[in-house]
Amino acid sequence: MNEELLKIALIGQPNVGKSSLFNRIAKEKIAIVSDLAGTTRDIKKQVIEVLDKKALMLDTGGIDETNDLIFSHVKRKAIETAKEADIILFMVDGKKIPDDKDKELFYELQALNKELALVINKIDNDKEKERVWDFYEFGINDEDMFGISVSHNRGTKTLFEWLYNKLPENPETINVNEVVDDEDEFAFDDEDLESIDENFDNNDEINIAIIGRVNVGKSSTLNALLGEERSVVSSVAGTTIDPVDETVELNDKMVTFVDTAGLRRKGKIEGIEKYALMRTRNMLAKANVALLVLDASDTLTELDEKIAGLVDEFGLATIIVLNKWDENQDTFDKFEEEIRRRFRFLYFAPIIATSAKTGRSIDRLKNKIFEVFENYTQRIPTSKLNKVIEEATIRHALPSPNGAYLRIYYATQFQNKPPRIALIMNKPNLLHFSYKRYLINYLRENFNFEGTPIHIISRGKRDNLVDEEELDKI
């Protein structure tokens, strides 16, 4: 029975509260709880119920970088467990600031392409909620990050709801000899397509948000793109407070550039700058394209990661701009590698090295904006889309969870800005996240989606398509 259940792995450094959360979810005291770091050394397993859905919970030993042979074994076992799990809860101590070890572990787990939540424990009261802000530098979406207190039972309900939504309905008994229906995969007719609620935006106006931390050259970049002194440039950090916008006609399109206020760490945002942050978020909600400006003359910071996460949150087409660039190609390659490592969730975004001061690569940046916007707004013909999806399933067959026979009847794009694709299936709830990611990567190999995120959903023939809460963003 356990082999049929999805597996949830609890991962984290010693003494962050994994065993306590394990007991809270299991509703009984199974794991030993102690203040002594490293109490849990083996993998503990327990069938749990989240409301009416069952899963197999795995509690791993704390991961600790040490020469001690016992802990080395614990780390290896924990990573192995994460690889075989379907859902990972990565737990950190909210009373401590994020350290490099936490981030390294998180990125290692993120690379596994599993359902992943960042659980920040020991947020015991409302005052300590602000500690959660520090963990935005991990670059994870708000909906996958939880500030909780296991000991005070604070915030756990929201985490349990997240888990519930990630778990499929309890699997029914599968008869491996069951007769599948006669409908062919990738077979669809006009009536099928008429039932799809399409929602394409054909507006050619481009709204571009220029975003980054203070003093990285956002205003200089805006002036260089416009070819005139539109935004005030100063070495004083925070010169731009309210977003500055300028609309021009380029390549027969109306383009609005918005120079947003530079963002600082939350503890440094006071008075009018709180309003600036709110205005910046409002502008991002209206934007199509984001220019994430980084200072190439300085090292990347945790705040850069948090701002990149903000761009990802709004699902914008994205170009990463390395401003103040005057180095050689070898140095660029190293900088690009560092950006790709820290901004994994923006892997689709092109990187362009510019100098707003000298005008270097500004024309290239302009051209790339139009290319990325075209990818962001494109509509893939249903026939071409289905051909590629069919090729993908031939190359790598659909999984058979619990012996179930999965089939995709057809695929169709039902929205753009960003592109959103529906897979119409017989058992949509059983299609695993990792296979969706595989399909997305295959789509990227066959269509030009550079610079744009893609949303993909799996649905039954009679299901509603546009359900924002169930969109998988990849």
| Domains of the chain and any CATH numbers | 2-166 (3.40.50.300), 190-199+379-473 (3.30.300.20), 206-377 (3.40.50.300)
Contacts of 323 (CB under 8 A, 6+ apart): 216, 217, 220, 221, 293, 294, 295, 296, 354, 355, 356
* pLDDT cut 70: percent of the chain above it: 74
- pLDDT (mean) for 321-340: 82
pLDDT at residue 183, as a whole number: 45
Of 82-96, 125-139, 187-201, 435-449, least confident by mean pLDDT is 187-201
**197 pLDDT higher than 70:** no
Longest dimension (CA), the chain: 73
- pLDDT (mean) for 301-325: 86
Q: Which residues pair with 329 in a beta bridge?
A: none
Phi, psi of 140 (to 5 degrees): -95, 150
pLDDT at residue 192, as a whole number: 53
**215 pLDDT higher than 90:** no
pLDDT at residue 241, as a whole number: 39
Tell me whether the omega of the peptide bond preceding residue 418 falls within 30 degrees of 0, making it cis.
yes
pTM of the model: 0.57
Among all chains, which residue has been given the structure tokens 């699902």? 315
pLDDT top residue among 438 and 324: 438
pLDDT at residue 470, as a whole number: 47
Contacts of 178 (CB under 8 A, 6+ apart): 405
pLDDT at residue 364, as a whole number: 93
User: Which of 32-36, 277-281, 417-421 has maximum average pLDDT?
Assistant: 417-421
- pLDDT (mean) for 138-145: 86
- pLDDT (mean) for 134-142: 84
pLDDT at residue 38, as a whole number: 39
148 pLDDT tier (thresholds 50, 70, 90): very high
Write the burial class of residue 320 (CB in 10 Å: 0-12 exposed, 13-18 middle, 19+ buried). Answer: buried
Taking all residues of the chain, what is their mean pLDDT, rounded to a whole number?
A: 77
pLDDT at residue 302, as a whole number: 83
- pLDDT (mean) for 50-65: 72
348 pLDDT tier (thresholds 50, 70, 90): very high
Q: Which residues pair with 355 in a beta bridge?
A: 360
3-class SS at 342?
A: helix
DSSP assigned state of 288? S
Q: Which residues pair with 294 in a beta bridge?
A: 322
pLDDT top residue among 173 and 407: 407
**278 pLDDT higher than 80:** no
pLDDT at residue 298, as a whole number: 84
- pLDDT (mean) for 401-406: 82
Q: What is the pLDDT of residues 169-191, one digit of tens each?
A: 654 433 323 333 434 556 555 45
Dist CA 19 CA 32 (whole Å): 7
Rama region for 73: left / alpha / beta (φ>0; ψ in -120 to 50; rest): alpha
pLDDT at residue 188, as a whole number: 56
DSSP string, 253-265: EEEEEEEPPPB--
- Please state the separation of Cα 208 from the chain's center in Å: 21
pLDDT top residue among 421 and 38: 421
Q: What is the pLDDT of residues 376-396, one digit of tens each?
A: 999 999 999 999 999 999 999
pLDDT top residue among 321 and 332: 321
Q: What is the pLDDT of residues 64-121, one digit of tens each?
A: 545 454 445 556 677 778 888 899 999 999 988 888 878 888 888 888 888 999 999 9
In contact, 59 and 32? CB cutoff 8 Å: no
3-class SS at 1?
A: coil
Dist CA 101 CA 82 (whole Å): 17
Type of residue at 145: M
DSSP string, 21-64: HHHHHHTS--S---SSTT---S-EEEEEEETTEEEEEEEPPPP-
pLDDT at residue 389, as a whole number: 95
**417 pLDDT higher than 50:** yes
In contact, 423 and 465? CB cutoff 8 Å: no
**246 pLDDT higher than 70:** yes
- pLDDT (mean) for 45-56: 81
pLDDT at residue 268, as a whole number: 47
Phi, psi of 56 (to 5 degrees): -105, 115
- pLDDT (mean) for 222-232: 69
pLDDT at residue 474, as a whole number: 45
471 pLDDT tier (thresholds 50, 70, 90): very low
pLDDT top residue among 234 and 97: 97
